[in-house]
Structure 1
Amino acid sequence: MTGTPASWRPFAGDLLVATLFAPATDTRRRLIVTFGHRAPDPGHLPPAEPVKRFLRAGWSHLHIQSRWNDWYVNPETEALCTALTPLTARFRHVAAIGFSMGAYAALRLSAALNLTEVIAVSPQYSIHPDVVPFDRRFHADSAGFDPNLGDLARHARRGLQGVVIHDPFRPLDARNAALIGAVLPELPLCRFGFGGHPATAVIRETVKFGAVQDLILGGDASRARIAALHRDNRAQSPTWWRGLAERAATTGRSRLAALAQSRASSLDAAGDSP
């Protein structure tokens, strides 16, 4: 595919914007949905960019953005849902990928988007202090967050395929994942040890996240396949070895800590070589 793909905005509010990109030939009636990230400088919307990997495969692409770090829960949320539900109903398969704030949005909007499957990386269960008092990381974003409008138990779609990916060594992420698993028990949890937040560091350092996208394109983004992707490549990730070294040190396994740190240093040095 060459040139700029055709695009239009099925929703354009002051707070939320959705941009739809069409492939050169739309024959598969499949849609991938992505979300803007939590921004260090919120208040403006960068230009939406298509995921060309999916467009080349004949999928359409819907990108949803929020002007502020409000986790997509604001006075325009319901209007966005109303606009997108009939649009996404035209597709026979709708998949979504989200990271952190975008992962929460994928779950919260899953019913309105008619999602078939979701890859949610390090999602929150909520950011409201009354709902997750144990997790203060995003309380600064929660001033206008309506806990009822943001309630996954009420708004997420049941029967979703896919996976919730998290780093089990990030206790707050693991706790949010467990809460999500309790309200969406059919959506399996997948542990990406030492992946960080969001839990993709190991994948980014090795096969890149495009490998996960390829599993969606191939129709096999199962928990088993995604877990294997992480497991089979972690030995080539310096971040994974550093995480193992830190974990071993804190649990008194000094020999393992030294070996893991040595391996991380070797991989770092190999990466720095011309």
Structure 2
Amino acid sequence: MKAEGDIVFGGDRLRATLFNADAPKLIVTFRQRVSPDGAFDTARPVRRFVKRNYAHLHLQSRFNDWYINSETADFEAHLGALVRPYRRIVGTGFSMGGYGILRFAEVLGLQHALLVSPQISIAPEVVPWDRRYRDCADGFDAAMGDVASRAKRGLKGVILMDPFRPLDHRHADLIQTSFPNLVICRLGCGGHPATRVLGEAGGFGRVQSQLLSGQVDVEEIRQKHRKSRRKSPTYWRHLGENAARREHMTLARIAFTRHAELAPPAK
């Protein structure tokens, strides 16, 4: 396998890089929202999958446009032809990357997905209650970006989200309406994305590797999150903030004290 991969779609706004192309199975990943945007990253393979005889297709948008732009139609047609040889296709993505998984699930032939804090849309007319991404929504084509009309209803998998993030919760509920075989897994005080606590403990890779077996175990993910949160500064900070908003001040003080004990010293 070439470490740098092959660029199989090289547009000005969208890029696809393929590793280990001759493998019989495929994992698809989408890049999340980045700051600043305006450039492509050097793609890296998901080695635990490549070692298990998976190809890896990594998709990027140069700008934070949720993959909806003047190249989307050509990109979609190219992907459809590219994935035909693979007998098993799984995918994963965070936030904007999770949206990408949903938007292109049908053309990619995805069978199983692990989504972290994804959006159903960023179009103001579709999600007027979510203003977080309005800086990215100028020019967003709501029809081309419509997930519900392109939903792969047989897609199985899990949406990981923090239930204390009401906007993420609302997106997850709407997504599940169009993708009824996606299970919502609530990771309290995980943040956005909801796997920050797992990431601090080095546990997201083990969660992602569940896709290798074709069955994502929601209860196992919850248990990993519970175990990780004890030593997670992110968890205790979010718990303190949530408790303070609800005026549970004793819990808030305990949580902020624990956060201060765990947080790395300021440089």
Aligned residues: 265
Q: How does 1:118-267 map to 2 (within 5 A)?
A: 118-267=113-262
Partners in 2 of 1:208 and 1:61 — Cα distance?
21
1:159 Cα deviation from its structure 2 partner: 1.0
For 2:66, the aligned partner's letter is: W
For 1:181, the aligned partner's letter is: Q
Say whether the 8 Å CA contact 2:30–2:59 is kept in structure 1.
Answer: yes
Deviates more, 1:236-245 or 1:157-166: 236-245
Say whether the 8 Å CA contact 1:11–1:19 is kept in structure 2.
Answer: yes
For 1:50, the aligned partner's letter is: P
1:115 Cα deviation from its structure 2 partner: 0.4
Q: Give the corresponding residue for 2:20.
A: 22
2:65 is aligned with 1:67? no
1:86 Cα deviation from its structure 2 partner: 2.7
Partners in 2 of 1:47 and 1:265 — Cα distance?
36
RMSD: 1.9
Change (3 A) 1:233 1:6: closer
For 2:9, the aligned partner's letter is: F
Say whether the 8 Å CA contact 1:10–1:84 is kept in structure 2.
Answer: no
Per-residue Cα deviation, 1:14-40 (whole angstroms, up to 9, x for no partner)? 2211111007x83xx221111122222
Partners in 2 of 1:70 and 1:134 — Cα distance?
19
Q: Give the corresponding residue for 1:84.
A: 79
1:233 Cα deviation from its structure 2 partner: 2.2
Per-residue Cα deviation, 1:104-132 (whole angstroms, up to 9, x for no partner)? 00110101111011111111111111111
For 1:18, the aligned partner's letter is: A
Q: Could you say what secondary structure the match of 1:188 adopts?
A: strand
Same amino acid, percent of matched pairs: 45
TM-score (norm 2): 0.91
Per-residue Cα deviation, 1:176-200 (whole angstroms, up to 9, x for no partner)? 1111122222211111111111112
For 1:196, the aligned partner's letter is: G
Per-residue Cα deviation, 1:32-73 (whole angstroms, up to 9, x for no partner)? 111122222322212222122211221110001111111001
Say whether the 8 Å CA contact 2:28–2:90 is kept in structure 1.
Answer: yes
For 1:99, the aligned partner's letter is: F
For 1:125, the aligned partner's letter is: I
The one of 7, 11, 27 aligned to 1:13: 11
Q: Could you say what secondary structure the match of 1:19 adopts?
A: strand
Change (3 A) 1:91 1:6: farther
Say whether the 8 Å CA contact 2:5–2:43 is kept in structure 1.
Answer: no
Deviates more, 1:255-264 or 1:235-244: 255-264
4+ long deviations beyond 3 Å: 3-6
Say whether the 8 Å CA contact 1:104–1:124 is kept in structure 2.
Answer: yes
Partners in 1 of 2:38 and 2:48 — Cα distance?
29
Partners in 2 of 1:139 and 1:166 — Cα distance?
21
Q: Could you say what secondary structure the match of 2:132 adopts?
A: coil
Query: Any unmatched runs of 5+ in structure 1?
Result: none
Change (3 A) 1:267 1:39: closer
Query: Any unmatched runs of 5+ in structure 2?
Result: none
2:108 is aligned with 1:110? no
1:160 Cα deviation from its structure 2 partner: 1.0
Partners in 2 of 1:111 and 1:150 — Cα distance?
13
Say whether the 8 Å CA contact 2:2–2:20 is kept in structure 1.
Answer: no
